[in-house]
Amino acid sequence: MRISIWIGFLTFGIGILLSYLAKAMIQTQTAGAMQTTAATIASIIFVLFSATMLGTGAGLVIHWIFGFAKHWKAFVAEIVFSVVILIIGIGASLMSGNIWTGMQEFVAFLTASIALFVLSFITMFGGIFEGFKSVKEYIEKRGKNGKPAKVRAKVRRV
């Protein structure tokens, strides 16, 4: 089992904890202008951090699920899902009645979309490099089994 699933679950869990802390920061009662400003800035930071962690964790878990497919199929599916996730995030944040929830939803879905988009290219090129490696190993193995020395030398230079 790849480690990305465990990193995804851990990151998603940290995002949930930060979300609870953000909710507590939003509900903080303040007395003066300085305290209000500090509480508002802290709330914004906690909301953004929690949304980023939630989105990254969700992106890693979805990437892990798509990892069972062939490389090019996973690549296409991850790109399509990243666009769909972004559109769903825009819709969910617009339908939200609370500005804090809307901001958190938008950033979480945006982060998940970006993570999935970047990881799709890692899936594709990781698969291509594994393919080149296996072809190279096959050629080297075949070159040792009865080819003249000149052919083996050419194969090693490739």
Q: What mean pLDDT is reported for the chain?
A: 84
Give the pLDDT score at 53. 94
- Residue 110 binned pLDDT confidence (cut-offs 50, 70, 90): very high
Name the token pair of 131.
């393919």
Cα–Cα distance for residue pair 47/104, rounded to 1 Å: 6
Cα–Cα distance for residue pair 147/156, rounded to 1 Å: 12
What is the pLDDT averaged over residues 95-108? 90
pLDDT over 70 at 1, yes or no = no
Judged by average pLDDT, the poorest of 27-36, 42-51, 100-109, 121-130 is 121-130
Q: What percent of the chain has pLDDT over 70?
A: 87
Tens-place pLDDT, residues 53-99:
999 999 999 988 888 888 788 888 999 999 999 999 999 999 988 88
Give the pLDDT score at 30. 86
- Exposure letters 52-65 (e unless 16+ CB within 10 A, then b): bbbbbbbbbbbbbe
Q: Between 118 and 90, where is the model more confident?
A: 90
pLDDT over 80 at 150, yes or no = no
Name which of 59, 67, 54, 75 is nearest 2 in CA terms. 67
Give the pLDDT score at 158. 47
Handedness of CA 46, 64, 112, 27 (dihedral sign): negative
pLDDT over 50 at 120, yes or no = yes
pLDDT over 50 at 126, yes or no = yes
Cα–Cα distance for residue pair 132/80, rounded to 1 Å: 26
